[in-house]
Amino acid sequence: MKVQLVLALLSLAALANARKPSAARYDNFKVYRAFVEDNEQLEEFKKVHQHIQVHILHEIGGPNRSYDVIVGPLFQKVFEKVLHDLEVKYEIIVEDLQALLDESSVDEDAPMDWETYHPLSTIYDWLDDQCAEHDYLECKVIGHSHEGRPIRSVKLSKREGNKAILLEGNIHAMEWISSATVTFILNQLINSKDAEMQRLTEEYDWIVVPMVNPDGFVYTHEVERLWRKNRRPNGYTNTSGPCFGIDMNRNFDFHWSGAGWNIEDPCDHWFGGDEPNTEREILALQDFVSSFQDGYIRAYMAFHAYGQYVLLPYGHSNTEFPPNYDQMMRIAAAFADGAVDAYGSVFTYGASGLLNYVVSGAAKDWAYGVKGIPFTCTIELRDKGTFGFFLPSNQITEVGVEVTEGLKSLVAKADDEGIFD
């Protein structure tokens, strides 16, 4: 009987191990930066991924821009030949992607800090500790992901009558620096002895949702570091099988599906869904924002990577601008002025449709266009492309410091501009 029990347990263990997916590796994968000069090159460049197995790291917008592309060893010579034939100039910016990823390996057992990247469990344990230690924090589960993971919020309020600033992180799974920065800021707000940070917590309420996409985030740690979307099966298939996920920052119901690269391809990284507001994660976020009295939340800031931008509404157009766009530009300029003082990082600011690329259905545009929050933005964090989405963990603290300094200046300018009136 004991032998049978042992064999049964061994069988269960073997089955569990067999079912646990192994993390994808990128040994000798290169990251290319292609410089697309004109519309003719652009139209041909858009077709490359249909014929060669490559991973384009960000949406393809217009000409006169560079685009970063991951290519495995089997396709590198073919890819280089295609670029040569198209007369598209390029450079190799990462020789071995796996070696770069290994620079930010995750210690599952390390306590929460901002020297390394952490798994979801460590982040959530740290939130629990903070919530237990400070009675001015109101901590909630605002909803659950497709796979049932909680989506957590923390509201910091020390005085009645304050207006609020909302910080949102990691709606895109692969952008680890996002939640790392949002939790860095939250830690400063809670634990810093800096007089200015203490004043900010006395005069303003802070609402923080550090992890909008927990399923995707876990998937990037356990299976696929390059994953961007959530993990809901979206009902489509391709030659590799069922397709998963919606780009949740393309699924908000404000000019949804009006513009964007490959937002209609259900198996690509930027699929915005068959209709808006389909994802339970963003519905939970929207319901949470809507649960507060109108006029209470006065600033909404979504944190992303990369490029060092302060992106303002609107994203769906490069010719249409919000009524108070000039005011928002002055506030964004204050952030850039504050951030550059820390380590010299230069942030460019302006409407996202103008500076970055035209795309619809983003959180910041919904917050402005639907909820009427007078200052909204996307902060695209470090860097400008040397490491891109794979920023080494030894830069987390510097990013946190420069963004915190920028945030101080932003809030001061927003107050001067009457945003919190």
Does pLDDT of 249 surpass 90?
Answer: yes
Does pLDDT of 8 surpass 60?
Answer: no
Does pLDDT of 291 surpass 50?
Answer: yes
Contact between residue 76 and residue 30 where contact means Cβ atoms under 8 Å apart? yes
- Active site residue ranges: 380
For residue 49, the model assigns a pLDDT of 87
User: Of the candidates 47, 75, 102, which is a domain's last residue?
Assistant: 102
Domain CATH for 66:
3.30.70.340
Q: Is residue 14 part of a domain?
A: no
Does pLDDT of 21 surpass 80?
Answer: no
Same domain, residue pair 403 and 324: yes
Mean pLDDT computed over 104-133: 94
User: Of the candidates 51, 75, 102, which is a domain's last residue?
Assistant: 102
Instruction: Give the pLDDT confidence of 167-184 residue by residue, as tens digits.
Output: 999 999 999 999 999 999
For residue 59, the model assigns a pLDDT of 85
**Least confident range of 106-110, 291-295, 365-369:** 106-110
Average pLDDT score over the chain = 92
Does pLDDT of 365 surpass 80?
Answer: yes
Q: Is residue 35 part of a domain?
A: yes
Mean pLDDT computed over 308-324: 96
Backbone conformation region of residue 404, classed left if phi is above 0, alpha if psi is from -120 to 50, else beta: alpha
C-beta neighbour count of 295 within 10 angstroms: 12
Say what percent of the chain tops pLDDT 70: 94
For residue 108, the model assigns a pLDDT of 86
Q: Is residue 1 part of a domain?
A: no
How are strands ordered across the β-sheet holding 137-144?
A: 137-144, 150-156, 205-209, 164-169, 297-305, 375-381, 309-312, 348-351
Same domain, residue pair 178 and 208: yes
Q: Is residue 113 part of a domain?
A: no
Does pLDDT of 5 surpass 70?
Answer: no
For residue 51, the model assigns a pLDDT of 87
For residue 56, the model assigns a pLDDT of 92
**Reported confidence tier of residue 259, pLDDT bands at 50, 70, 90:** confident
Nearest-angstrom CA–CA distance, 373 and 360: 18
Domain CATH for 409:
3.40.630.10
For residue 343, the model assigns a pLDDT of 97
Mean pLDDT computed over 14-27: 63
Mean pLDDT computed over 273-299: 97
The number of domains in the chain is 2
Nearest-angstrom CA–CA distance, 3 and 8: 9
334: part of which helix (H) or strand (E)? helix 325-343
Q: Is residue 270 part of a domain?
A: no
Mean pLDDT computed over 347-362: 91
Same domain, residue pair 213 and 304: yes
239 or 351, greater pLDDT? 351
**Reported confidence tier of residue 15, pLDDT bands at 50, 70, 90:** very low
Backbone angles phi, psi at 201, to 5 degrees: -80, -20
Q: Is residue 373 part of a domain?
A: yes
Does pLDDT of 11 surpass 70?
Answer: no
Q: Is residue 238 part of a domain?
A: no
Same domain, residue pair 300 and 412: yes
Same domain, residue pair 130 and 98: no
Same domain, residue pair 80 and 137: no
The domain of 79 spans 30-102
Same domain, residue pair 96 and 144: no
Same domain, residue pair 142 and 89: no
Nearest-angstrom CA–CA distance, 311 and 347: 10
User: Of the candidates 54, 74, 102, which is a domain's last residue?
Assistant: 102
Choose among 33, 192, 69, 210: nearest CA to 139: 210
Length of the chain: 421
Q: Is residue 63 part of a domain?
A: yes
Does pLDDT of 224 surpass 70?
Answer: yes
Same domain, residue pair 134 and 177: yes
Same domain, residue pair 386 and 300: yes
For residue 103, the model assigns a pLDDT of 85
**Reported confidence tier of residue 18, pLDDT bands at 50, 70, 90:** very low
Same domain, residue pair 96 and 131: no
Does pLDDT of 16 surpass 90?
Answer: no
Mean pLDDT computed over 367-380: 98
